[in-house]
Amino acid sequence: MNEIQQEPKTIRESLLAVFTLKELKLKEIVLMSMLGVVFGFIYLAFYFFGQGLRNILLPIGLAPFAYEFIFGIWFIVSIVAAYIIRKRGTAFWSELIAGTVQVLIGSPAGPMLIVSAAIQGLGAESAFWMTKYRNYSLWVLVTAGAMAAVFSYAWGLYHSGLIALAPGLLLATLLVRIVSGMLLAGVLGRWVSLSLARTGVLRGYALGKEQQRERRAS
């Protein structure tokens, strides 16, 4: 069985494993791509939903919050993929792939979307990296969602020029985005993955195997 992998010993080795994808099998990569396609459509739907929300909130001056409430949904693919596959680099690459797929489908955001997807993915990945890819409890998933929010916010400060906005507003929007990341990516992502595991299609992946073991034990 090639399930037992050599643990990276140094930080350099483990970072290398994240970026080179050595541990991932082709079927796991195609799975990430398929998730990217399905969530790509969901992301696009939420983009229009956010536009609508902003138009409602614009006259009362709360427009900056429109996207923050739903921002977490854009991190969900990281959490779902990492929770199902449980290998180094899944959170990062799945988000990157989802971003690329959206560009292929024809998202107006263009190549810059791939860059922002990579940054969000790195945020989520950092949470799993800190647990050395051993812990996939709800708390770790929620932290991953929060980290993705923090990373994407830092990018927005620079790229969208949010840094020119009032500090109080920035703090408030950041907090809303973090909570959104925790709930819409962390909690919802876990729930989606578990619903999928119940259908039995994940038997070939880490999450499905864990569920089977638990069922046998009980």
Contact flags string 61-80 toward other proteins, x per CB under 8 A: x-xx----------------
Query: Does 195 participate in binding other proteins (rule CB under 8 A)?
Result: yes
Q: Which is nearer to other proteins, 127 or 188 (CB)?
A: 188
Among 37, 154, 179, 183, binds other proteins (CB under 8 A): 37
Contact with other proteins (CB under 8 A): which of 15, 44, 70, 109?
Answer: 109
Angle at 152 between CA 167 and CA 33, to 5 degrees: 165
SS3 160: coil
Residues 6+ apart with CB under 8 A from 167: none
Stretch that binds other proteins, among 123-131, 133-141, 156-164, 175-183 (CB under 8 A): 156-164
Task: Work out whether 201 is an interface residue with other proteins (CB under 8 A).
Answer: yes
- As given in the structure block, the two tokens for residue 122 are 């790195």
| Residue 36 near residue 98, CB atoms below 8 Å | yes
Longest dimension (CA), the chain: 61
Binding segment for other proteins among 6-14, 47-55, 122-130, 176-184 (CB under 8 A)? 47-55
> What is the nearest approach in angstroms of other proteins to the Cβ of residue 197?
10
CB 120 within 8 Å of CB 79 = no
As a whole number of Å, the end-to-end CA separation of the chain is 25
Q: Do 125 and 89 meet the contact criterion of CB atoms below 8 Å apart?
A: yes
Q: How far is the CB of 170 from other proteins (least distance, A)?
A: 8
Compute the least distance from the CB of residue 95 to other proteins, in Å: 13
Q: Does 120 bind other proteins (CB under 8 A)?
A: no
CB of 158 to other proteins, least distance (A): 6
Sign of the C-alpha dihedral, residues 101, 102, 106, 110?
Answer: negative
- CB-neighbour burial class of residue 44 (10 A; exposed 0-12, middle 13-18, buried 19+): middle
* Residues touching other proteins, count (CB under 8 A): 58
The DSSP code for 89 is: T
Give the binding site for other proteins (CB under 8 A).
Answer: 20-21, 24-27, 29-38, 41-42, 51, 54-55, 58, 61, 63-64, 93, 97, 100-101, 103-112, 115, 158-161, 163-167, 169-170, 192, 195-196, 199, 201-202, 204
